[in-house]
Structure 1
């Protein structure tokens, strides 16, 4: 890394010309034609009665996989365009076109899955042993079983079509709301208007006055937009609830649990272990308040560093550190990450107009990935970069597998990302050159436990209760803010002096139409990856290959089966989760010992 790394991503190698790309236009047209061909094939297909009649279904599967890969390519590209410039109106229009394509493919799949559920059980068992179907056995069984729990295919198809301008339309409207957020900030005698993404970075400034001033403006900005956000959230939830009701689903968690291929028992066991660990986290929060000279931590103090000096990290320094620490665990992971930096797969530039947050997106047709974030030089930004590279590596490992077998759920996706983040954080703590540096790095590591045990838990509590209330009717912005603050107080065990009532408005995840309950999978990923990290410490360098094998299986197993096969553990029991929690607790206990004299 001798020459400075490029901080803007290369999208031209995918489709040159951005949102006006002729190649993208032709690609979308070919995909639409293939989707039409796929629909016609499904409509003319008959339920087979013997193996000789199966071949049309196998041809449909092949074409469907091709369409899925190409839709991923188009969707990822358009998503990148919209994220890098929220004023790219053409990208927003293209987003609607791609959403229509996705809905069309979902509608076709609903009809195809209905064919699958009508196949005789003995013929089904025979087909799953054939060369074409055997590799897709898990996916085919999953699709068939789920089809039996949904409405008839005509109704499912109608719902998906209506969702384009209804459900997904509301999700896209939220993006418009965020793009209009502008927050004034004065620095070096100049006042500038910050985008939501830029302002969010200021909320993590080491200077408490800067944080508090920005938080007040942040709350004001979202208060001004609260009615728009409340309407959006109400209608997103209303659509889901109505759809679930027509499917006969009473439990609002049925779909997110199915999507994440996990049982409610596993989820409840995980939360129970976390709840039991919270008293130690409260000790940490109280100790941190004393170290900062405060009676109690405000919302913006929770993630503040205990050192007051501003410590900036350059993008190149962050890249070098990440690759070096990855190499200690896995040369394969390090080489992949170096390639991502060298090939400019990462958009990190700090500039106006970008969407807030970070993500990794997959281009399945060209077997590439792209990472989006805004790098401001904070340690949190370094963590985000490592996190997203973990996602990218996960997708890299899936190359060569059938496209349908690459569709892993969010909870195991977050496992790969948080594991990568943990490698960097733990290595830096162990390599600290002074007690002060070690304390600061340890505290940053503990922040993840606070985030996943408390912040994400607050989101889960809020969303669960919001859906319960929404069944009774629309909620206004004040009622939603009250639910949010109540959930935060419970999740943080009333340990903070102030909270963030408009968090529900500012958090993109509540408005995701791709994944309902975009919260508990994060905590699962953190806890599962911590358990994996415990195993990695026990087994040493030999674990890297086992880790890769586990990630490659994430698209074809429930999480319970995955853990049983690769780790020999039962996720519905407390033992595995307790081992992960104990590692987090050990960090906090070390922090408390190191700060005894300071407090």
Structure 2
């Protein structure tokens, strides 16, 4: 019941002026202010509702008939909504300025109180999982409204082999704020407070602005940024190693007590995806490294006139055209038109984000890096965070996060417990929104150079989404396996990082001294272990889905909206069946990877 806070997504955004007025969040749809009477009212209601829920239902679930169990589930859902609203508000305020001690205290205090209030609810899932299968099936058969929640019950009951005693589960829930959550906050605040001394820059830069320089047209600036990142990460590498060691060890202890067969298993359960499906994805991507990243980066070295690429060349622009800054209104128009070309309804769903204060776009001191779409709760609406500074790639980030937002709005109709989409499908609408925007830009390309620039940019984004994220997944697998054997030194972690970098990026690269520390700033490893494969899953799935769209499948648009509206109410097999797709087929992933290979084929063809 401790609601996850929105987490920054790894995405280095750009820095430029002349962007027009960038929107800020209006969080008043959650609460008007930290001291708003509604906030205090909801806190008071939550405390009483949790205590009443435990008094009413603890030890009694087995004796409830279908109607009473439905009332119990709905009471739980109402509590979930109020707790989610409180923590969404506290978390979003905090991410606007993580260096503001008042906001940090407000969020920490809210988290402490919500955790304390919801501890009495821990019994619910434990006791529910002890219900006899035949008894539960009878209740579901007797009440269609209760049967709607079956996907939620299935996910809960998948944890049955791994749950501990009621007392231990309550202890772990109560203790969570000083466990992983505290280490997460230490990581966030350390990252937000880092400044980088970049040669040639007049003042020190934050992480976002320094990462942005890795995409600068000037190779000297890119190298200076890479070396500044390495120097600063090295100063703090013992702290980052401590964070990773502690979190990996805590996870190993929890997994051992819960009898999880692998460190990844809990993530697969929460994603409602079979381990063999993830393994098939991972194996397909690794097997494709030579025809994807290795081949592309050899081409890129040739375009840049270099014998060898350095790490600061990985995201270098091609310089086929003058660098372009995209102002905010142009970015909004580009994405809105791309969405509308697919379906006017899609553009209509995205419109309130621009007009009602649902986007926070500018880079500001202390603001969390990256981008995310946070759904808040189904009775309010999502909020999108960007660090928009005018690069063409930032337009794609806007398309991506708005896709999440549209998905979250559509899924909200399922209600709080059924709306949340497993991570494996959570990237579907976002990547599809990116693809729609990219295809529209590609159709409008006026010169071969513009087309080549667009294609190369898309291939790089796909490599970053598929190849890089699977390499990250392999790094995490190695990290957790190694930590199970003992404490890891910074050098140990560095070596694991470099082992996956060389394999995934290929033979076109040399790696500068210091690059071995670049694992340190990636937030997913800290906040959401093994999250990263969801990006590759989503990209592969969308590539296959887009191929079906292009083939002219009758009723595609309506089928697509139905899939998004389903939220977490269906398994990926059921959601993909109307499109003739099946992610459990090992050959499924080759379809998506073939699209990336096809773009690289076209780029190779342009060489002649």
Whether TM-score is above 0.5 comes out as yes
Distance 1:24 1:541, change over 3 A: farther
**For the residues of structure 2 that align with 1:541 and 1:379, how far apart are their CA atoms?**
33
Q: How far 1:447 sits from its partner (Å)?
A: 0.9
Instruction: State the distance in 2 between where 1:391 and 1:22 align.
Output: 31
> In 2, distance between residues paired with 1:559 and 1:108?
33
Choose from 111, 122, 127 the match for 2:139.
127
Instruction: Name the counterpart of 1:284.
Output: 296
**Helix, strand or coil for the counterpart of 2:145?**
coil
The equivalences for 1:341-420 within 5 A come to 341-364=354-377, 366-420=379-433
Quote the Cα distance in structure 2 between the aligned partners of 1:208 and 1:83.
Answer: 32
Match of 1:566 among 566, 569, 578: 578
Task: Provide, for residues 491-534 of structure 1, a one-character-per-residue CA deviation record: whole Å limited to 9, x for no partner.
Answer: 2234421263222211111110xx32121111101111111111
Gap change, CA 1:56 and 1:105, over 3 Å in 2: farther
Q: Is the Cα–Cα contact under 8 Å of residues 476 and 529 in structure 2 kept in the other structure?
A: no
Contact 1:359 1:373 in 2 (8 A): yes
1:48 aligns with one of 62, 84, 103: 62
Which whole-Å CA distance do the structure 1 matches of 2:29 and 2:449 have between them?
45
Question: 2:596 & 2:52 partners in 1: Cα distance?
Answer: 52
Structure 1: distance between partners of 2:206 and 2:280: 40
Q: Distance in 1 between matches of 2:100 and 2:47?
A: 23
CA, structure 1 residues 226+66, in 2 after alignment: closer, same or farther (shift >3 Å)?
same
- Give the root-mean-square deviation of aligned CA atoms: 2.2
Task: Report if the CA contact (8 A) 1:114-1:144 is conserved.
Answer: no
User: Offset of 1:48 from its aligned partner?
Assistant: 2.6
Taking the TM superposition and a 5 Å limit, the aligned residue runs for 1:183-582 are 183-185=196-198, 191-281=202-292, 282-307=294-319, 309-364=322-377, 366-498=379-511, 500-512=515-527, 515-539=528-552, 542-563=555-576, 565-582=577-594
1:585 is matched with 597
Distance 1:186 1:212, change over 3 A: closer
Cα 1:493/1:98, change in 2 over 3 Å: farther
Aligned-residue offset at 1:296: 2.0
Which 5+ residue runs of structure 2 have no aligned equivalent?
1-18
Correspondence for 1:10? 26
Q: Distance in 2 between matches of 1:117 and 1:198?
A: 48
Aligned partner of 1:62 among 74, 77, 82 = 74
**Structure 1 residues 433 and 6: CA distance shift in structure 2, 3 A:** same
Report SS of the residue matched to 1:184. Answer: coil
Mapped to 2, the partners of 1:41 and 1:198 lie a distance apart of: 53
CA–CA distance in structure 2, aligned partners of residues 417 and 105 of structure 1: 35
What is the CA-CA distance between 1:168 and the residue it aligns to? 1.3
Contact 1:195 1:354 in 2 (8 A): no
Post-superposition Cα deviations, 1:55-99, rounded to whole Å, max 9, x if no partner, equal 543333112111212222222222211111122222212322343
Superimposed CA distance per residue, residues 108-153 of structure 1 (whole angstroms, 9 cap, x where no aligned partner) = 5541122223323332111112133111011113213323432122
How many residues are treated as equivalent by the alignment? 585
TM-score w.r.t. structure 2 length? 0.91
Instruction: Pick closer, same or farther for the CA change 1:468–1:569 going to 2, 3 Å.
Output: same
Query: 1:465: Cα distance to partner?
Result: 0.4
Q: Contact conserved, 1:85 with 1:354, CA < 8 A, in 2?
A: yes
Shift of 1:424: 0.7
Secondary structure in structure 2 of the residue aligned to 1:363: coil
Q: What CA distance in whole angstroms lies between the structure 2 residues aligned with 1:81 and 1:536?
A: 39
Pairwise CA distance, 1:104: 5.3
User: Are 1:91 and 2:91 counterparts?
Assistant: no
The answer to which of 487-496 and 418-427 deviates more is 487-496
Distance 2:100 2:391 in 1: 28
Q: RCO greater where, 1 or 2, for CA within 8 Å and sep 6 or more?
A: 2
- Per the normalisation by structure 1, the TM-score is 0.93
Distance (whole Å) between structure 2 residues aligned to residue 356 and residue 267 of structure 1: 28
**How far apart are the structure 2 equivalents of 1:101 and 1:439?**
54
In 2: Cα distance, 1:457 partner to 1:330 partner: 32
Secondary structure of 1:432's counterpart equals coil
Residues of 2 paired with 1:106 and 1:226: CA distance? 36
Larger CA deviation: 380-389 vs 295-304: 295-304
Find the aligned partners of 1:344 and 1:481 in 2 and give their Cα distance: 42
- 2:541/2:583 contact within 8 Å kept: no
